[in-house]
Structure 1
């Protein structure tokens, strides 16, 4: 017994000699990131509130903290069990009069001391600083316990994950890489899989599923939530439980591990196919993702090249040689299975693309411009999004959906393209979620009944269900007229203007909903309860604009040719953002650049639709004394009429 205890002490001494530096680095890093930074701020002249935020200690040098707790535990796990991966060391260590359970626990507990002690010391020092300088007004004690608990849970999770992976491999480098791959795999493979579904299934909303807290699928990405203190304590418990599970599972595997497998990438033959085809599959998806915005031929090329690279790397790692180029039998089988899966996706064997819920089963339908409008549906302002519940609108959306499916994706030259996001909420069933890019011109006949319906306008314009008595004032915000503070506070004028605007909004047709180039700015209604409602200013609001004319406010509120110093028309390829700087640099003598100052022609431009995305010409309108504030694409025939 004394001899066994003596060997335990020697193993512990050797561990602290060889890897104790990791604990020192961890402690120094934590002290530098937190206590020293706290003392620097306490001793500075500026108020503490200017530096500290009200959401915890993770916001102090968070990048350093995250790097320490994600890298150092993995390094420690690799170095502590490196003896398993070197045959001579493995034979020597296992020849000692120590059982494997004892050897395993010695290394684990030595690792825990090296990792936990720096966290405990840092916590105590921060507590002393907090009491000494009374920093409880900046952060609370629970913030300190949250920091200590979060750091401890992530440190233990990374450490025991590395230990577990170390039992499955015989190479230290592979152990470190596989640890991060294992922790990132659930989130990474989910993201890649979503992109594949987006390529094959028309209507699949990658953005929606990507926004659904996908970071929670990986502890590494989830650690970013520590910064804002938004990681709940329940997640700490989950991660701590996973760490304990890996501790036990690693021990079970260690008991049955063959010592002669040191130096092998994967020590269990049953896991080798999983590693090989898993890596091949992931690299295939990455290859396809790289070419996702290219024609289908390039996407297929990406899948093939990615899978070949993945399969080759896996064979090289497993065989430990470069001479693997003659072993393609396994790849051919993988290729056949993958082809069948992709063929079934392309053929839509589940009728995913054709699925349109029956009107009688639908309680309500959400319609918006993108998944973000659904996620933030309670916060969206001036957004054409929300729930429709009337039977007529539900049926109208079903007809729209049917037309979208039958028409397929619009071509690149389609006009007035936009996103549309649909969520059918059915009785007792999961919601049916779809997202499409559509051309409004091609689907005008089915869009019109929806957009002209009273229910839809109530969503689009909240002002329609607000009483004028609840409005304190009306303000106008117009680009180029920022210096003119235009406010209406008279109750009678507010009532009169609101009534005129409501009539215009209720009578607005589908064609008039598209803004013109000159439709700039908005009118803001300040409510008695502190809220605000915004409505865009449009030339198409006849009653509203007539009222402004009667009050002699039209010229102050609506953008006119008098507010524009010039309009520059230029031929060019690209989008609005890439063409922006070229207007200032374009030579005035160029045959493809025209400067327009005639008020009548400028007014023609202002009355031109600003929603077109076709044409080889761009027009930039310059406010008086300013840079171009508006750049639009216009067609060649319009330019010809304007110039002539």
Structure 2
């Protein structure tokens, strides 16, 4: 009996391509390629024509180069959506028993079927792009703002390569399933799989590992393995005046990846069983991966969501309540996946053993995170190993130029932070209990002659990164509860943090981080409650104020900061700030390049005796008003 993958006739058509099937796909699925072409026609061609009326309002050289280059990233989402639609169309015969049998009974080898359908789907992108490029060229000639063949060619080439990747990846996904509705689901999930797994790991680690640093910034490898994000993040333009396109590297990389996916899809197609039409997963070795993957994602996503809804104030010390929701939703996801694979609701009798194994493994994984066998939670480095500490904290009062210290380099400051870190570890159980409760409370109290709303308790998010002498790094983040009682207890984390941010010399270092000897002080602004700044521009006046502030900083009379908006903050801080404007004699990377101008702002405090005396000499004492006395 002749094989269904080859032709037994004497005159056999070309084994690798069939022009009749190619033309049939073009005539059958004309809405796809015509809609794709119309969208690009409206974006590019009509956009160039409309540029005639608004050209005078745009920067020089914007048209046509800038318009075409800015249109390149628009094709990312278009290619993402049309890639899976075209793959669903040309390989739709794989998802029904009758069409798949008829198609493979044709006198065409499987390689010929695959390549003909693949190339016809790819042409749904390439040919409309070519037509739109020619029409846009004519629009540029008609608009009369010049013709840029280079940018037009770059647009067409980039769109073809981006479409090649997304379409090839969709075809690769199409080989794994026998159900047409499962294809877009797999395509979407696999496009964001690495990003999703990274987010799931971060969420579990944040819950179970005390001090785990959660950042919104993606690791480079996560971005590269999430093509859509990588395209969006890296493809762009330099802007005026040249409008050069940026982002060619991901275009080349994903083009090669698209060719690899095409080859893998062909290999899978050659081994595909026709009987799998209608199955959610058509490849046998992927069925357990699908089943346990659905169970794991259901456990983490749905389980943590239900836990946060039903037990929003549960303390970290009894986080084992989360395990109940993880196991419940994990089992639910497992049996749903089993039903999809078996196409039956009667899966409990044969699936309970696999579900039990999954729940045991999930329990072991959660237990490992909670027990912390590698000592992640209790690791505190030696101060001698650290060369620098980078802080990432919210601002604290008063909100001036040193309201959030950024870098610690002095040995004594690093030692204080290491001591604070050890104190946090020693108070881990108390901090975990208060970690999920971050409310702030206020009460009306009399400060001097006025009633003000002072903050009595709150929490402070504190994160930092160690830079070690050997080049390594270590990140941690904590939420530290703060109230008057904790601040009065010298061994509490709140008191240690307060001592760190008010360490001798630290405020002076932050305020004067840009100041260099020889910089010219141009003026000083004194803010007032009415909003009209009082400006001192005389050299003698500005120097008098600068010398007074520097003396107070050196003596520790100025620069006190607070973790709470408490009585001391209202009684000690004025509403007024002094802003010093400098002109640097040399260009430095941290300064504004235009004129080398920079400034720093400092809040006036009642303890700043030299600064207050200088303001009295300048006759500015009348505009000073304490925070407690501000209306």
State the TM-score, normalized to the length of structure 1.
0.77
- Residue matched to 2:102: 92
- Is residue 169–residue 264 contact of structure 1 (8 Å, CA) maintained in 2? yes
User: 1:523 Cα deviation (Å)?
Assistant: 3.1
- Residue matched to 1:182: 190
1-structure distance, mates of 2:508, 2:161: 49
Look up the SS of the partner of 2:181 in the other structure.
Answer: helix
Match of 1:160 among 151, 155, 168: 168
Cα pair distance change 1:212/1:268, threshold 3 Å: closer
- Residue matched to 1:14: 24
Match of 2:111 among 101, 113, 116: 101
User: 1:493 Cα deviation (Å)?
Assistant: 1.1
Instruction: Give unpaired runs (5+ residues) of structure 1.
Output: 374-379, 562-601, 607-620, 622-644
Deviation string for 1:447-488 (max 9, x for gaps)? 35533445533442126844475221122344x522x24221
Q: CA RMSD in A?
A: 3.4
Match of 1:333 among 349, 352, 357: 357
Cα pair distance change 1:510/1:381, threshold 3 Å: closer
Deviation string for 1:39-71 (max 9, x for gaps)? 2232348623499799764655976x4442211
- Is residue 56–residue 147 contact of structure 1 (8 Å, CA) maintained in 2? no
Cα pair distance change 1:46/1:307, threshold 3 Å: farther
- Residue matched to 2:404: 384
**More deviation in 44-53 or 303-312?**
44-53
Q: Which has the higher contact order (CA 8 A, sep 6+)?
A: 2
Cα pair distance change 1:41/1:8, threshold 3 Å: same
User: 1:245 Cα deviation (Å)?
Assistant: 0.6
- Is residue 280–residue 340 contact of structure 2 (8 Å, CA) maintained in 1? yes
- 1:366 counterpart = 2:390: yes
- Residue matched to 1:202: 210
- Is residue 25–residue 90 contact of structure 2 (8 Å, CA) maintained in 1? yes
- Residue matched to 1:433: 475
2-structure distance, mates of 1:289, 1:212: 27
- 1:255 counterpart = 2:263: no
Any residues of structure 2 matched to 1:407-422 within 5 Å, and which?
Answer: 407-408=427-428, 409=431, 411=434, 412=437, 415-422=457-464
Instruction: Give unpaired runs (5+ residues) of structure 2.
Output: 1-9, 239-245, 441-456, 585-595
Any residues of structure 2 matched to 1:256-335 within 5 Å, and which?
Answer: 256-290=271-305, 291-292=307-308, 294-295=313-314, 296=319, 299-326=322-349, 327-335=351-359
Any residues of structure 2 matched to 1:373-522 within 5 Å, and which?
Answer: 382=402, 384-408=404-428, 409=431, 411=434, 412=437, 415-439=457-481, 441=487, 442-447=492-497, 450-454=500-504, 456-462=506-512, 465-467=515-517, 469-478=519-528, 480-482=529-531, 484-508=532-556, 512-514=560-562, 516-517=569-570, 519-520=574-575, 522=577
- Residue matched to 2:180: 172
Cα pair distance change 1:486/1:23, threshold 3 Å: same
User: 1:396 Cα deviation (Å)?
Assistant: 1.9
- Residue matched to 1:543: 610
Look up the SS of the partner of 2:192 in the other structure.
Answer: helix
Aligned residues: 552
Cα pair distance change 1:130/1:526, threshold 3 Å: farther
User: 1:252 Cα deviation (Å)?
Assistant: 0.9
Deviation string for 1:10-36 (max 9, x for gaps)? 211221122232111100011112221
Look up the SS of the partner of 1:207 in the other structure.
Answer: coil
User: 1:429 Cα deviation (Å)?
Assistant: 4.5
1-structure distance, mates of 2:133, 2:266: 31
Look up the SS of the partner of 2:201 in the other structure.
Answer: helix
Deviation string for 1:522-577 (max 9, x for gaps)? 43322214332232423343322332233222333x3458xxxxxxxxxxxxxxxx
User: 1:494 Cα deviation (Å)?
Assistant: 1.1
2-structure distance, mates of 1:45, 1:164: 44
